[in-house]
Structure 1
Amino acid sequence: MAERILVVDDEKEIADLVELYLKNDGYEVSKCASVAEALDCVAREELSLAVLDVMLPDGSGFSLCQEIRREHLFPIIMLTAKVEDMDKIMGLTLGADDYITKPFNPLELVARVKTQLRRYTRYNLAHPADSRQEFDFAGLTVCRESRKCTLYGRELALTPIEFDILWYLCEHRGRVVPSEELFEAVWKEKYLDSNNTVMAHIARLREKMGEPSRKPKFIKTVWGVGYTIE
């Protein structure tokens, strides 16, 4: 069965263009023009990924992203006409997996959709060869086979990217992992200067772990270098 993509944008021309390119690649598409329509669609349909515009007539794409994340872990890509880093960080911190700035090349959007779906599919597959790979220390348990993480017995609802970040830090426990290395290992893309994507996801991870940003117990920031887990 074809994977279904939710496209939320009140600009009909953009929504139609995105739909055309996604359908050409074999995806099914559900289009919505408002937050209310999108939430109704999320409740009714089995979705594989969502593409959300930031500016919507009845609310913000960021708030919509946050609502979706309360119950769903499928990938979310934000469409934004704003280029300020804080907008991008806000979207990623609220649970988005990627963003793309308008105007955009539809082929690039389709490529990013494919990347996120590959990662999400890999996240949901078991890894029999790695069945004994697990980290368990100081109340934090991270299991690669089940892709589950618990903290003091409470399971954390992590997105695929958040799990990959935490797993990579656990694999390299005891040393500082530069932001560039972490980005390239998890996103499989070249790191560019002034890229705040890693910082935004680390902030989201700490929030889910109930960690204070100033003195976190697990994921430590080594300013000017990167991150380490203790």
Structure 2
Amino acid sequence: MNGLKVLVVDDDPNVREIIRLYFEKQQIRLFEAASGEQALDMVEQAAPDIIILDVMMPGMDGYDTCRELMKLYDIPVIMLTAKGDEFDRVLGLELGADDYVTKPFSPRELMARIKAIFRRMQSKRNAGEDDSRHIIEYGGLSIRLDRREVLARGEKIAFRPKEFDLLAHMAKSPGLVYSREQLLEQVWGYDFLGDIRTVDVHIKRTRSKLSDFGFDCIHTVWGIGYKFEVGI
């Protein structure tokens, strides 16, 4: 992970210092912001590979900051949430965060989450090279594996990386029913440390984006999981 650039956004200087001291030993370049406003100003210049974003901050909180980041950048985000607060975790994932860590946390755990995200990203890139000439098409819906794009009757739908991975994985086997556990293992990877409800959050967000363009493709199979099927 040498050369990795990380932006940590937290109004607590003690939290930033704990992360900084640990990351320096890992030869990771760390940028610090004490507020959401400051973070948005820094992203363009710092060009971080990943952002660690606290939820509870004065002024622009982590939710608002995450919303703005998702509009402008395609950078993985790990959110720092209150211990045991499920609402914080789910809302962060719905906004597009890739993972979360509950406070108090160990820098070692945070580092493990970062490594897991980049292993999954590399795995998806390698898989994309194998699928570089494939296009999945169903009645006006086109999923381009080479460009990682989804087109609805020629109009591009904006998907976050994990949303695209989920849709593409299911669309490759239409009609096949996946349990949440299977999707977590096959899309997120065996080393994912988050909650299984992550699957439900991403399904909801992916389904909503498709429905905005008139596609009802992802269906719930009650008691089992989900399947991709067009035209039912």
Counterpart position of 1:220 = 219
Larger mean Cα displacement after TM superposition, 16-25 or 64-73? 16-25
Counterpart position of 2:155 = 154
Offset from partner CA, 1:80-130 (integer Å, 9 cap, x none): 114232221111010101011111121111011122233335556684432
3-state SS of 2:101 partner: strand
Counterpart position of 1:229 = 228
State the AA in 1 paired with 2:225.
Answer: G
List aligned pairs for 1:85-124, cutoff 5 A.
Answer: 85-123=86-124
Counterpart position of 1:65 = 66
Normalized against structure 2, the TM-score is what? 0.88
Asked if 2 retains the 8 angstrom alpha-carbon contact of 1:21 and 1:110, the reply is no
Counterpart position of 1:6 = 7
**Superposition RMSD on alpha carbons, in Å?**
2.5
Measured in 2, the distance between the counterparts of 1:80 and 1:190 equals 21
Measured in 1, the distance between the counterparts of 2:25 and 2:158 equals 33
Pair 1:38 & 2:39 matched = yes
Counterpart position of 1:181 = 182
Normalized against structure 1, the TM-score is what? 0.89
Measured in 1, the distance between the counterparts of 2:114 and 2:193 equals 20
Q: Percent identity?
A: 38
Measured in 1, the distance between the counterparts of 2:194 and 2:35 equals 35
Asked if 1 retains the 8 angstrom alpha-carbon contact of 2:120 and 2:188, the reply is no
Asked if 2 retains the 8 angstrom alpha-carbon contact of 1:79 and 1:101, the reply is yes
Shift of 1:190: 7.0
List aligned pairs for 1:197-216, cutoff 5 A.
Answer: 197-211=198-212
Asked if 2 retains the 8 angstrom alpha-carbon contact of 1:183 and 1:198, the reply is yes
State the AA in 2 paired with 1:154.
Answer: E
Shift of 1:173: 1.2
Larger mean Cα displacement after TM superposition, 220-229 or 89-98? 220-229
Measured in 2, the distance between the counterparts of 1:120 and 1:53 equals 23
How many pairs are equivalent? 228
State the AA in 2 paired with 1:7.
Answer: V
Asked if 2 retains the 8 angstrom alpha-carbon contact of 1:123 and 1:160, the reply is no
Gaps of 5+ in 1: none
Asked if 1 retains the 8 angstrom alpha-carbon contact of 2:79 and 2:101, the reply is yes
State the AA in 2 paired with 1:96.
Answer: A
